[in-house]
Chain A
Amino acid sequence: MVQFLQQVISGVSIGCVYALIALGFVLIYKATETVNFAIGELMMIGAFLGFTFIVIWSLPLWLAAIIAISATALLAAMLERVFLRPMVGEPAFAILVVTIGLGFCLRAAALMVPEWSSETVRIFTPLSGSVVRLGPIVISADHAAVIVATALIVTGFFVFFKRTRMGLAMQAVSQSQLAATYMGVRTRSVSTLAWLLAGAITAVAGLLLAPIAFIHVNMGVLGLKAIPAAIIGGFSSLPGAIVGGILLGVCESLAGFYLPAGFSEVAAYILVLVVLTIRPEGLFGETIHKRV
């Protein structure tokens, strides 16, 4: 039992990272209907910027985190303005291909930085090595930090959407762009804002992942797990993305421990198949009843 709980908790912490990436993914999808395949690469850039500031430049942890998160957010906003703004009105498939291309470019750019491409690296924090005990369960402090940080960010987001004018404008745009326009919302700034926020969240995900897993130029593939997480949650639901991500992490962790080797790699996709067979609209998705 202790062993099981131990696995569940370590699954929750990696799942939190998936959840954050999925949150960024769904945020962009809701605001702009763009399926963003470059989300994993944004996380990778965020993690490496953190690595550069913390390990190479030896900046204080908090300062390095702030710079890395802001820089990734600005990069994401810039990508939206330069590459996706001109695509407004083009077929969804064309836009998707643009994001795949951007992902490749970001990975190639990271490979050109000698300090980044040479090896797999890890960021050590003052927490690394210490543990948190909950009764018989032992959690590494880094894993616990991931869970706490995710909870804080999710709360912040909830408040942002519930209380602020910008949060409300984003919700309005995601439900009806036309109506939002005539309520005075600048729908274009909302797209940029969605990318900005998604960039910031994925950078946080990358930074949280860095102490618990190795970071490397191809870690963006991990970001693709955001897509099954989002699908499980219902694809356009923010709470769904969080639950989907955590569920995914737990399943992977349990599959890795109890099932033969190989299952943990495909656990995400088995979970997607199971969820979609039982609830095709996803856990938090809404069924669209077409009136005939």
Chain B
Amino acid sequence: MLLEARELSVSFGGIKAVDSISFAVEPGEIFTIIGPNGAGKTTIFNLVSRIYNPTGGEIVFDGRPITRVPPQAIARMGIARTFQNIELFDHASVIDNLLVGCHIRSRTNLLADMLFLPVVQRQEETFRRKVEEIIEFLELEHHREATIGSLAYGIRKVVEIGRALALEPKLLLLDEPSSGLNPEETDDMVHWIRDIRDDLGVTIIMVEHDMSLVRRVSDRVLAMESGRIIALGAPDAVVSDPQVVRAYLGD
């Protein structure tokens, strides 16, 4: 198991947003969480990415409990995430955004950095090479030097995934990767998600609304309603499950 949630619960002002949920994600899996608005899927996401502290239960990542690990520490442990509304460094270029992901892992000290010593230069070359690989992988060559603010929404979405990949994560959390994208861009997103898993071996957990995307990329789907699991299994089975259909359409 790469990530395991054990009887995870969280309440906000007496309302149980997530109610004793357990699931396990295997390495190399694309695991999707679906559910109507307010079902608790984003809450689960924020529990795993450590924005919220659970009121009960445990999260284990890669054999280590992360239930009390602060959000800035999970990047180093191998978890990267994207945001539904994109959080990039808007005044910086695509390359610089990606480089931030690398530089956080820099091992050199302040003085060496300021003097740009040979050891720092070599490290910088490694980082640049790494970033170029990601840029090539996600076909962002044309936008390499562009400032984020000048890019189309669909491209920014891909850049944000690229920046997450620069952290070399074992687990990538995608928060509604298709939101704000047109159908063509959504098709592209399907390919990126598959490639990230197939070529880079990164495990993916995502929250997603677009059922066509969910069906095309997920290995397993977890459906939620009112903070509880109502179905878990193969995408087609879950999406056509009567309880799931009822949750979306009402009685």
Task: Give A residues with C-beta under 8 Å from B.
Answer: 156, 159-160, 163-166, 168-169, 171-172, 175-176, 178-187, 286
**Residues of A with C-beta under 8 A to B71:** 181-182
Q: B92 within 8 Å of A by Cβ?
A: yes
A-B residue pairs in contact (CB < 8 Å), sample of 26:
A159-B114, A163-B114, A164-B110, A164-B113, A164-B114, A165-B106, A165-B113, A168-B103, A171-B89, A171-B92, A175-B92, A176-B87, A176-B89, A176-B90, A178-B87, A179-B83, A179-B88, A179-B89, A181-B71, A182-B74, A182-B81, A183-B101, A184-B73, A184-B105, A185-B104, A186-B72
Interface centre among B72, B101, B110 (most CB of A within 10 A): B72
Question: What's the least CB distance linking A66 to chain B, in Å?
Answer: 16
Chain B positions near chain A (C-beta within 8 angstroms): 49, 71-76, 80-81, 83, 87-92, 100-101, 103-106, 108, 110, 113-114, 116, 120, 163-164, 167
- Classify the interface of chain A: helix, strand, loop or mixed: helix
**Most chain B beta-carbon contacts within 10 A, residue among A159, A166, A172, A186:** A172
Given contacts A168-B103, A175-B92, A182 and B116 within 8 Å (CB-CB):
no
Q: How many A-B residue pairs have CB under 8 A?
A: 69
B76 to chain A: which residues have CB within 8 Å? Answer: 184
Contact B103 A165 (CB under 8 A): yes
Bound state CA distance, A180 and B164, in angstroms?
11
In whole angstroms, how far apart are the Cα atoms of A235 and B163 in the complex? 29
Contacts A178-B83, A182-B49, A183-B167 known; A286 to B72 CB distance under 8 Å?
A: no
Q: In the complex, A187 Cα to B74 Cα: how many Å?
A: 14
- Least CB distance, A292 to chain B, in whole angstroms: 15
C-alpha spacing A286/B150, complex, angstroms? 13
A176 to B105, CA, bound (A): 19
The answer to whether B104 and A183 touch across the interface, beta carbons within 8 angstroms, is yes
Question: Contacting A166 at CB < 8 Å: which of B80, B90, B101, B110?
Answer: B110
Interface centre among B83, B87, B163 (most CB of A within 10 A): B87
Residues of B within 8 A of A181 (CB): 71-72
Task: Using A175-B90, A178-B87 as known contacts, say yes or no to A183 and B113 having CB atoms under 8 A apart.
Answer: no
Q: Which residue of B lies closest to A179 (CB)?
A: B87
Q: Could you say which residues of chain B place their CB within 8 Å of the CB of A184?
A: 72-73, 75-76, 104-105, 167
- Contact between B114 and A165, CB atoms less than 8 A apart: no
Cα(A180)–Cα(B92), bound, Å: 13
Q: Which one of B75, B108, B116 lies within 8 Å of A183 (CB-CB)?
A: B75
Q: How far is the CB of B181 from chain A (nearest CB, A)?
A: 17
Chain B min CB distance to A133 (Å): 34
**Bound Cα distance A160, B89 (Å):** 19
Q: Across the interface, do B88 and A183 meet the contact criterion of CB distance under 8 Å?
A: no
Interfacial chain A residues near B72, Cβ < 8 Å: 181-182, 184-187
Tell me the nearest residue of chain A to B164, going by C-beta.
A182
A175 and B91 within 8 A (CB): yes
The minimal Cβ–Cβ distance linking A186 to chain B, given in whole angstroms, is: 5
> A175 to B89, Cβ gap below 8 A?
yes
Are B100 and A176 in contact, with the CB atoms below 8 A?
Answer: no
Q: Among B76, B92, B114, which residue has the most Cβ atoms of chain A within 10 A?
A: B114
Q: Report the bound CA distance from A246 to B236 in whole Å.
A: 67
- How far does the Cβ of B165 sit from chain A's closest Cβ, in whole Å? 12
Give the docked Cα–Cα distance between A84 and B15 (Å): 32
- Chain B residues contacting A168 (CB-CB under 8 Å) are 100, 103
20 extra interchain contacts, Cβ-Cβ under 8 A, other than A176-B87, A185-B104? Answer: A163-B113, A163-B116, A163-B120, A165-B103, A165-B104, A175-B91, A175-B92, A176-B89, A178-B83, A179-B83, A179-B88, A179-B163, A180-B100, A182-B49, A182-B72, A183-B100, A184-B104, A184-B105, A185-B72, A186-B72
| B98 smallest CB distance to A (angstroms) | 10
B83 touches A286 (CB 8 A): no
Which of A160, A168, A184, A286 has the most chain B CB atoms closer than 10 A to its own CB?
A: A184
Contacts of A183 in B (CB 8 A): 75, 100-101, 104, 163, 167
Provide the residues of chain B in CB contact with A286, threshold 8 Å.
Answer: 91
Q: Which residues of A contact B90 (CB under 8 A)?
A: 175-176
- Shortest distance between the CB of B220 and any CB in chain A (Å): 25
